[in-house]
């Protein structure tokens, strides 16, 4: 390719990956004009809102960057045509949910938004354009993008023929820690077959990332590496959660077990905290991609192995729900249960695949009346995940939402900590207890509370990986 530098970047998709990633790009590359384009007008309006507390995504450190770079070299728009036509490099950062119907339903990724983005690029791009896969994609997706773009090259009869170069640059950020992960990544992976295009993307990252952290591979290795990384992380979570159940029965302490095995250098300490299971947009989806890929190539045993990681995640959530029901005399009808946290993890407002969703649904099905508090998740999002607030009279439970953390305790039979928000670690359980109805229960699914803080509060206490601590 002939291009010598990147002056204009377009990112298609203003979600949890595209927004924060481009914000960091804008911070460290002030000479590059960056446009984040999305068809969702409400989302773009939120990104452009003068009140930056209304940004559609909550990430520690994100708001500060937006304040400094927005409308300087960082812009948000719904005008895809202009954003694409002026870009030297285009990132595809759109949603790739699991297919709900057709071939591969329940496992394969739905690539309609990726394909739609590729067609928009093919239509509006002008001359030489580098197209970068940023979304988490199945292996060989780049082949589809290449075919769509090459057809545009063949059919373009303008004076200057269009040329496209496809790279894979998967994200490895962790929601809730996205800005830190983007500013100080463990590694940056760039896959492609055009050395010049790879070099141009590398030069962008070199503005803040050391050269030794930038790994260059072929396209297919890059795509597969992202899926495998998420699968391995999810596997660790499912593995330690299976051990948490054994600990609760045997009297072992899950924290002591995690510490002991985490000190083994062959294993390491990360992702060994027990909880209600993994959530977010990637882990489940990427494992199911591996399951589908394995089945497609006739590797049934491999497919079965990875499917069990997903199955155990659901098992953990249902296990916790059953424990709550059992401790409350196998009857939740008209009982009030406070839910602390609804996002899939702390420091994010993302609820996709949140363990809290399944646990709440299980409790509602048992007839419980839930009151939910989360510092960043909006009531409308909870309604999207759980459905209408009130079920059929006398047949199922209900849910409500409060902006005040103490409200979850009023007349509550039990409180469930579903997300590990920092503020939940320092709650005044003495005050909470006085508002609750006896016999009172606290179910800590994240293991963040200290038993010493509950002494004298007359609260029965169950903690993940330790079990019922009421008698201590």
> Which of 201, 217, 233 is the C-terminal boundary of a domain?
217
**Of all helices (H) and strands (E), which one includes residue 212?**
none
Domain assignment of residue 2, yes or no: no
SS3 132: strand
Domain assignment of residue 3, yes or no: no
Domain assignment of residue 239, yes or no: yes
> Which of 160, 185, 217 is the C-terminal boundary of a domain?
217
Instruction: Report the CATH number at residue 92.
Output: 3.40.50.720
| pLDDT digits (tens), the chain, 472 positions | 666 789 999 999 999 999 999 999 999 999 999 999 999 999 999 999 999 999 999 999 999 999 999 999 999 999 999 999 999 999 999 987 777 777 777 776 777 888 889 999 999 998 789 999 987 666 667 777 888 887 765 555 554 578 899 999 999 889 999 999 999 999 999 999 999 999 999 999 999 999 999 999 998 899 889 889 999 999 999 999 999 999 999 999 999 999 999 999 999 999 999 999 999 988 999 999 899 989 989 999 999 999 999 999 999 999 999 999 999 999 999 999 999 999 999 999 999 999 999 999 999 999 999 999 999 999 999 999 999 987 555 557 999 999 999 999 999 999 999 999 999 999 999 999 999 999 999 999 999 999 888 988 999 999 999 999 986 6
Pair (207, 324) in one structural domain: no
Pair (236, 330) in one structural domain: yes
Contact 130, 165 (CB under 8 A): yes
Pair (303, 429) in one structural domain: yes
Give the integer Cα–Cα distance in Å for 448 and 247.
17
Give the integer Cα–Cα distance in Å for 205 and 212.
11
Domain assignment of residue 249, yes or no: yes
Pair (157, 225) in one structural domain: no
Contact 286, 226 (CB under 8 A): yes
Q: Kindly state the DSSP code that residue 414 receives in the 8-state scheme.
A: E
Rg (CA), the chain: 24
Pair (297, 416) in one structural domain: yes
Pair (345, 291) in one structural domain: yes
Q: How many domains does the chain have?
A: 2
List active site positions.
282
Pair (136, 75) in one structural domain: yes
Domain assignment of residue 247, yes or no: yes
Nearest Cα to Cα of residue 407 among 339, 455, 358 = 339
pTM of the model: 0.87
Pair (184, 105) in one structural domain: yes
Q: Which domain holds residue 70?
A: 8-217
Give residue 406's Cα distance to chain centre. Answer: 28
> Which of 217, 240, 264 is the C-terminal boundary of a domain?
217
């Amino acid at each position: 390719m002939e291009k010598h530098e990147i002056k204009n970047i377009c990112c298609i998709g203003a979600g949890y990956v595209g927004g924060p990633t481009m914000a960091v790009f804008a911070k460290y590359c002030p000479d590059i004009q960056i446009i984040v384009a999305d068809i969702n007008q409400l989302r773009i309006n939120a990104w452009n809102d003068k009140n930056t507390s209304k940004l559609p995504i909550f990430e520690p450190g994100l708001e500060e960057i937006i304040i400094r770079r927005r409308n300087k070299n960082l812009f948000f728009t719904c005008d895809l045509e202009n954003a694409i036509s002026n870009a030297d490099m285009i990132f595809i950062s759109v949603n790739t949910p699991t297919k709900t119907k057709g071939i591969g339903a329940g496992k394969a990724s739905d690539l309609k938004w990726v394909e739609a983005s590729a067609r928009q690029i093919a239509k509006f791009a002008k001359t030489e354009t580098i197209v970068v896969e940023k979304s988490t994609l199945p292996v060989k997706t780049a082949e589809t993008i290449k075919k769509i773009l090459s057809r545009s090259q063949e059919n373009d009869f303008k004076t200057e023929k269009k040329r496209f170069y496809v790279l894979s640059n998967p994200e490895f950020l962790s929601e809730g820690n996205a800005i830190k992960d983007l500013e100080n990544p463990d590694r940056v992976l760039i896959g492609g077959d055009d050395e010049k295009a790879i070099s141009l993307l590398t030069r962008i990252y070199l503005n803040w990332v050391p050269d030794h952290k930038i790994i260059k591979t072929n396209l297919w290795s890059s795509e597969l590496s992202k899926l495998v990384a998420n699968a391995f992380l999810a596997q660790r979570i499912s593995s330690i959660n299976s051990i948490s159940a054994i600990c609760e029965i045997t009297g072992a302490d899950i924290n002591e077990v995690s510490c002991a095995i985490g000190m083994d250098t062959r294993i390491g300490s990360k992702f060994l905290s027990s909880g209600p299971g993994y959530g977010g947009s990637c882990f489940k989806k990427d494992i199911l991609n591996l399951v589908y890929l394995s089945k497609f190539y006739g590797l049934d045993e491999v497919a079965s192995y990875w499917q069990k990681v997903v199955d155990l995640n659901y098992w953990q959530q249902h296990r916790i729900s059953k424990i709550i029901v059992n401790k409350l005399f196998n009857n939740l009808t008209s009982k009030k249960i406070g839910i602390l946290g609804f996002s899939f993890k702390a420091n994010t407002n993302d609820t996709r695949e949140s363990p809290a969703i399944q646990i709440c649904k299980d409790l509602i099905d048992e007839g419980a009346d839930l009151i939910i508090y989360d510092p960043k998740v909006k009531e409308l999002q909870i309604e999207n995940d759980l459905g209408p607030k009130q079920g059929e009279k006398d047949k199922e439970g209900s849910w409500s939402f409060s902006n005040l953390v103490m409200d979850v305790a009023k007349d509550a039979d039990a409180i469930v900590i579903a997300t590990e928000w920092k503020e939940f670690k320092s709650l005044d359980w003495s005050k909470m207890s006085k508002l609750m109805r006896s016999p009172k229960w606290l179910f800590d699914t994240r293991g963040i509370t200290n038993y010493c803080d509950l002494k004298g509060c007359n609260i029965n206490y169950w903690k993940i990986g330790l079990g019922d601590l009421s008698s201590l």
